[in-house]
Structure formats: C-alpha cells, structure tokens
Structure 1
Amino acid sequence: MQPTTVIVVADKTSLKRPFIFLNAVNMALCFFMLAVTVSSHRYLLGGTKVRLSLSGLVCLYILGFGCLLLSVLGVCGACKEKRWCLILFAVGMAAASQTMLVKTALTYQPIYEAEVVDRESSLRESALKMPLGENSLVNRTLLEHMQAYYKCCGLVEGYKDWGSSIPASCLCEYPERRCVRLRGNFTVGAQKKQLIYQEPCLPLYMASVKRAFSIAIGFKFGSAMFWVVLLVLSIKLMVQIKRKKEFLALLQTHKYCVPGTS
C-alpha cells in the first residue's frame, strides 16, 4: 500500500482581517478629525488669530483627507492582495505619522501660550476692570454665559467682582454646597438673602481649557501612533502576501518534493 501524502495549504494572509478592521476604525477617526477641523475653522473665522492657525488647519485638512484615502487604498490592496497598493499605503502612513508627531511637538508650546496663557491673561485683565459690570457688552455677555455654564460667579473673588450689580446668571437655581447666601446692598438680578454661586469662574474655566488642550494633544499623538501600527501591519501583510504567492507558484511548477516519496 502506497503512502498517502496530504499537503495542507494554510492561509498565509492571517493579518488581512485585522488590517481591514483597523482601517475601518481609521476611516472613522479621519471623519472625526475632519469634523473637529471644520468646527475649529468656523470658530477661528470669528476671531483675530486666523492667520496664526491657518497653517495648522491646512495641515489637519491634508492629514484627514489623505489618511482617509490611504485607508481606502489599503483596504483595496488587502482585499485584492495588491502589493503596490500596500506599498503606497505604507509610504503615506509613514509620512502622515511623522508629520503629525513633528507638527504636534513643534507647535505644542506656541499653541499652549496662545490658547491657555494668553486666554488666562486676557481674563485677568478683564478682572482688573472692577467692577465687572463696567466691561463692554460683549465681555459681560461672555461672562454671564460662563457663569451659567460653570455655575460660578465673578472671576477672581466671586460675586464681589461685580460690585453692587450682580447679574441673574449668578443665582443658584437649586441649593448646592457651592452656593452662599447674599448679604449687603445689591441690585438688579440678585437681591438680599438670595443664594448665589460662591466659586469664581476663572479657576473652573481655565481647568476646562487645560483639560481640552490635553485631550487635543493626546488625540494627535494617539492618532500618530495608531498610524504607525497600521504602517507595521501593512508591511507584515505585504510579506505574507509575497510568501503566499511564492508558495502557490512553487506548487504550480510541480517541483515541490515531499520527503519519503519518489
């Protein structure tokens, strides 16, 4: 009885499905990045620092659209096992991740000074114009929106920053620990013996700004590292596709010899 030889051809592209799944995640990430960029662009159009942030916005637009197209190219290359698609994908992801890391590292300090330090200095300058009711209508409106959102009153010394004219946005709708009973001669929105917010707004607002800044920087570095992971997976997938094609070509030449058979 002649021995029987069974040749099992295993799947040589085991990284295909994880690669496609991570590219789908990257597409969602790119859509989110573009949405945030568009929102930031609209916000900056109403400010005075458009020129300073224009280069950063253009870079984010290019990275968002570029990585989105690269993910489409990478998925096509993985599904059809086209190595040239994966090569272009790897080159693009290498450039995108390096650009994001370098751009974030170089602009960290300028953006921190513009978005955190300068903003805090501007608010402290407004606090020096005591009482706060003497500020411009735009500044007073912004302060009242801040007080209603963060449930605070004033900027540095609480409700005392407003002098005798305290706005209604300082009033506590429900009794809380951060509320204090108002005493003294006050007019307009707040009257005697009413509860108003005790905490000043500047520490709460700046803590929120710093937290948002940290999240934005972490998102940029995280995106860059995620693209590095996709780069490594694409290289490994290219190697697997090459080995699979070489193995199949070897079988088709009928020169594959199995030990123990003639």
Structure 2
Amino acid sequence: MGRVNVCLKRGYITVTSLVGIVGALMLGFTLFSHGYLHSDEEIEQMIAGLHGMYAISVIPLLLSIVGVYGACKQKKWALILFAVGMILISLFMVVCLIQGLVVEPELGEAFRLHYQSFLPLSNATDSFQEGIQELQIELQCCGLDQGYEDWGQNISKSCLCVEGSTNPCVAAPRSSIHFETDLTQPVMVYEEACLPLLISLQMTVVHVLLGIMLGITLLWVLSVALCIVILCRLNQKDDGPTVVYSPEAKAGNYITLTETSEHT
C-alpha cells in the first residue's frame, strides 16, 4: 500500500468536510421549508420536490462522514463507497441542472399564466389579495397585468402612490375608490402592473438557484477527483531497497583473521 501525500490528504478532508457542511445546511433548509409549507394547500404538489431535497442533502452528508473516515484510517472500502455514491448523486444533479436550463425559457410564461388565473383580483381569495397588496407596497406597482384595472371597481389602498415614489403614477377613476381620501385632488395610483416585476424577481431566484446547484455539483466533483487520486496512490506499492551487484562480492575478496598462540 502506497503512502498518501499529507497535502493531498488534508485537501481531500477539507473538501469532503465542506460537502458535509453544505449537506447539513441543505437538510436544515429543507426541514424548515417542510415545516413552513406544512399547512399550505398546495403542499401535495411540492412533496416530490421536498423528498428530492432530502435525498440530495442527507446522502452527501452521510457519504462525507464515510469519506473522512476512509481518508483518516486509509480504508479503501470507505473511499470507494464515497466515490461511487458521490458520482451517482453528481450525475443526478447534472440531470437536474440540464432539465432546469431546458425549461427555464418556459418558466416565465408558466408564471404568467398561473397568476393570470386569479384575475380579476376582486374575485381572488383573501389570502391571495393580501399577498398582492403586500407586493404592491414593496414593488410600488398596482394590479397584475392591466394595472389598477385588475381590481375592477374596488382599487386596493395599497396602490396609492407614496411621496417620493420612484415609479410613475396615474390618476385613478373616483368611482373605483372606496376608501377615505382627499376628494379635492385626483387619486394617484401606481401605473405599472406587478406581474412583469414579479416574474423578473422569480426568474432571478431561479437563476440564483441554478448557480448554487452548479457550485454544489462542482464541489462534489472536486471531492470525487481527490478521492480517486488517493485511491490510486494507495494502490501503488512502495519501492523496496535497491539491490546493487558488486563484482568484489563474487570474487570472494575476504580476509581471514586467525589468532596464533605462542607457547613459551
């Protein structure tokens, strides 16, 4: 069994420890998300994704423990198990990344159709209306697709322009205003609809998630590469001492020492 370079061993343990830390963080995030979405009405549609998150967080975490043990104790079976397991889950992540890149152009239209199904906003559920109202205040917009017209004859108070607004405002018809306001001046509401801003925000989140997945995959691939190098080094045999042939040894160039006893 060959000897593993100390720097190589420490580098592998460091990278593998990072794999375990990332897996632990992903597991914590998945548990938090599962608990947060437990009461959501659409939890059944998300359960498959949550199970996938559990898999890609728990498996690398367990494999990292095995890999560090194999490196510290120089156990080939542990290193082989780590390498095979990480290769398989890395391939799974690569497939997910490819699928994400393929469907990415279609996500924007899918988001648009999903939110347009809630129009008109006056007929949407109370929880959805509350979410849109919070969004209107945060993004300084009004309505989803057609601006304040999406609220019909009951424009939300959250559409009112605030002082110092960076987004343009327009005068809304007074017949659609049913909250207290100054009747001597026109009621100004945000002109821009929220749907383009919302889709842009969600697509940014998608891009960030794909980037994180790519970074995690590269970290996994690096750990596998280091593991394979260590396995190759362990399979090498250390060179034994070199035997040097000397013609003098064959010639029998020896000196015999004898003791002569003198008798007096």
> Which residue in 2 is equivalent to 1:60?
53
Asked if 1:205 corresponds to 2:191, the answer is no
Q: How does 1:182-201 map to 2 (within 5 A)?
A: 182=171, 184-185=173-174, 186-188=177-179, 191=182, 192-193=185-186, 195-201=188-194
Question: 2:118 & 2:212 partners in 1: Cα distance?
Answer: 32
> Which residue in 1 is equivalent to 2:92?
99
Once the 2 structures are TM-superposed, how far is the Cα of residue 211 of structure 1 from its aligned partner?
A: 1.6
> Which residue in 2 is equivalent to 1:86?
79
> Which residue in 2 is equivalent to 1:154?
143
> Which residue in 1 is equivalent to 2:118?
126
Question: 2:40 & 2:91 partners in 1: Cα distance?
Answer: 30
Cα pair 1:153 1:198 within 8 Å, conserved = yes
Cα pair 2:160 2:187 within 8 Å, conserved = yes
TM-score under structure 2 length normalisation? 0.75
> Which residue in 2 is equivalent to 1:256?
242
The alignment partner of 1:15 has SS state of helix
Asked if 1:214 corresponds to 2:207, the answer is yes
Asked if 1:239 corresponds to 2:227, the answer is no
Question: 1:111 & 1:57 partners in 2: Cα distance?
Answer: 20
Cα pair 2:140 2:165 within 8 Å, conserved = no
Once the 2 structures are TM-superposed, how far is the Cα of residue 20 of structure 1 from its aligned partner?
A: 1.6
User: 1:171-206, CA deviations, whole angstroms, 9 ceiling, x for partnerless residues?
Assistant: 344412314264541331655445543321000111
Identity of aligned residues (%): 28
User: 1:92-135, CA deviations, whole angstroms, 9 ceiling, x for partnerless residues?
Assistant: 1111111222344457667986x7544421322333x2xx3343
- 1:166 partner letter: I
User: 1:19-42, CA deviations, whole angstroms, 9 ceiling, x for partnerless residues?
Assistant: 122122212221232233234434
* 5+ long unaligned stretches in structure 2: 250-264
Cα pair 2:143 2:150 within 8 Å, conserved = yes
- 1:90 partner letter: A
> Which residue in 1 is equivalent to 2:257?
none
Question: 2:85 & 2:142 partners in 1: Cα distance?
Answer: 50
Question: 2:111 & 2:36 partners in 1: Cα distance?
Answer: 15
**Cα 1:168–1:40, aligned 2, differ >3 Å: closer, same or farther?**
same
- 2:206 partner letter: F
The alignment partner of 2:48 has SS state of helix
Once the 2 structures are TM-superposed, how far is the Cα of residue 70 of structure 1 from its aligned partner?
A: 1.0
- 1:81 partner letter: Q
Cα pair 1:167 1:190 within 8 Å, conserved = no
Figure out how many residues of one structure are paired with residues of the other and give that number: 241
Question: 1:45 & 1:203 partners in 2: Cα distance?
Answer: 29
* Segment drifting more, 118-127 vs 226-235: 118-127
Residue of structure 2 aligned with 1:228, choices 221, 224, 227: 221
Residue of structure 1 aligned with 2:5, choices 12, 37, 44: 12
Cα pair 1:13 1:241 within 8 Å, conserved = no
- 1:144 partner letter: Q
> Which residue in 2 is equivalent to 1:4?
none
